[in-house]
């Protein structure tokens, strides 16, 4: 039954693609060449065996949403979602669209695994008893030259 639901959702998307019928010039040129990589069937263009998705923001957002948000898919990351989409659809800029969509997903960002080490404990310096007993020096360089200089020296007492 789950497979039928996915097929029904995809057929709705295919109907919307068919109704849209706009195509980028690369696809039109490829269709004219008739090299076997691009063909048209029932008013829907196929590129390398996958359904061609026109450059329509609403349509692309709907496809991204249906392949990211359902409970059975479970908010896949960029790589898994791109793999899921590439099985069925072909469109220009798909990788960038997937990256943007996943980075904009609140649940994904909330549940994202941190790959950085936790910061160590801070050890504050002791407060000196008088002036100039403890000093620290920091040098920031290289910087773009200004008046022949390319560094900043910071001295803190």
Instruction: Give tens-digit pLDDT for 72-85.
Output: 878 888 999 999 99
Please report, for the domain that includes residue 29, its CATH number.
Answer: 1.10.340
Within-domain flag for 12: yes
Domain count, the chain: 1
Within-domain flag for 75: yes
Within-domain flag for 36: yes
**Is this prediction's pTM over 0.85?**
no
Cα dihedral sign, 54-57-58-61: positive
Q: Which residues pair with 46 in a beta bridge?
A: 39, 51
User: What is the extent of the structural domain holding 19?
Assistant: 2-110
Cβ neighbours of residue 52 under 8 Å, at least 6 residues apart? 17, 23, 27, 38, 44, 45, 46, 89, 90, 91
11-46 residue pLDDT tens: 788 888 777 767 777 777 777 787 778 888 887 888
DSSP for 7-33, please give it: HHHHHHHHHHHHHH----HHHHHHHHH
Within-domain flag for 86: yes
Within-domain flag for 8: yes
pLDDT given at position 114:
78
106-125 residue pLDDT tens: 888 888 777 888 888 888 87
Within-domain flag for 153: no
């Amino acid at each position: 039954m789950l497979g039928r639901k996915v097929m029904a959702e995809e057929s709705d998307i295919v109907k919307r693609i068919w109704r849209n019928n706009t195509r980028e010039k690369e696809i039109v040129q490829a269709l004219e060449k008739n090299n076997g990589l691009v063909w048209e069937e029932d008013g829907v263009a196929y590129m390398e065996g996958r359904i061609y998705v026109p450059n329509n923001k609403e349509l692309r957002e709907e496809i991204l949403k249906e392949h990211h948000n359902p409970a059975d898919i479970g908010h896949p990351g960029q790589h898994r979602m791109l793999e899921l989409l590439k099985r069925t659809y072909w469109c220009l800029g798909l990788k960038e669209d997937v990256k943007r969509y996943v980075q904009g997903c609140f649940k994904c960002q909330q549940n994202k695994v941190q790959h950085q080490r936790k910061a160590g404990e801070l050890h504050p310096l002791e407060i000196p008893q008088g002036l100039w007993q403890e000093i620290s020096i920091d040098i920031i360089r290289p910087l773009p030259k200004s008046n022949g200089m390319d560094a900043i020296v910071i001295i803190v007492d």
